[in-house]
A and B are shown apart, each in its own frame.
Chain A
Amino acid sequence: KAGVTQTPRYLIKTRGQQVTLSCSPISGHRSVSWYQQTPGQGLQFLFEYFSETQRNKGNFPGRFSGRQFSNSRSEMNVSTLELGDSALYLCASSLAPGQGVYGYTFGSGTRLTVV
């Protein structure tokens, strides 16, 4: 079956712009989480969505936001981009909250470069 699909794979944006990243979870998976990975900070949790509701949020500024649609697909948005937002953004899906204990499935990520 298809895995977690993230689009686009690579993106270059200019400081001050905004960006939207997309994640399609595995079919049947309804919980989606987002992570940011940078060389300096490693993998950090951004937020988690289930049934179109944000259930959990990491320690990131309000410029980072997300949403989930009725088909479980999720998008995250970063406004007013800064150089430090350059990172690999990863999406992970699981069947439902509490089911992640059996293992999340991660996508290959979107590599965002801010210049």
Chain B
Amino acid sequence: DAKTTQPPSMDCAEGRAANLPCNHSTISGNEYVYWYRQIHSQGPQYIIHGLKNNETNEMASLIITEDRKSSTLILPHATLRDTAVYYCIVNNFGNEKLTFGTGTRLTIIP
């Protein structure tokens, strides 16, 4: 079973920041938080991951709470191409098996 809880859907206006929440209250100390997204008819795409510090890359920022029980993925300036299902996953380093939940369907509105 997935160890994460995400809202099933969200809308965001184009050009605004999209903030996608994820609860992972049972996360253990050696588990990372990963985010992937899946655009229709394509395979999932890796976005970002983190352990306990906030992370930023060219795609997004990841904010992890101090107790690590929740996190937020931030797309700073959403575009129509960011419309996708976003998956939050917790996983041990070296565990090759990813357990996907149902994700959040993000729709960017023009």
Contact = CB atoms under 8 A, between A and B. Distances in A.
Interface residues of A, number: 28
Most central of B91, B99, B103 by chain A CB within 10 Å: B99
A31 B43 contact: no
Interface string B33-70: 01000000111111001000000000000000000000
**Chain B interface size, under 10 / 10 to 19 / 20 to 34 / 35 or more:** 20 to 34
Contacts of B21: none
A106 B101 contact: no
Contacts of A102: 49
Given A42-B101, A42-B102, A101-B49, A33 B43 contact: no
B81 interface: no
B87 to A, nearest CB: 8
B29 interface: no
B43 A101 contact: no
B102 A98 contact: no
Nearest to B45: A106
B52 to A, nearest CB: 14
Contacts of A31: 96
A105 B97 contact: no
Interface of B: 32, 34, 41-46, 49, 87, 91, 93-94, 96-103
Contacts of B103: 42
B43 A92 contact: yes
Interface of A: 4, 31, 33, 35, 42-45, 48, 55-56, 58, 90-92, 94, 97-98, 100-109
B3 to A, nearest CB: 14
A42 B43 contact: no
B59 to A, nearest CB: 11
B99 A106 contact: no
A106 B43 contact: yes
B43 A90 contact: yes
Contacts of A33: 96-98
A109 B43 contact: yes
Contacts of B98: 33, 35, 43, 45, 92, 100, 104
A1 B91 CA distance: 27
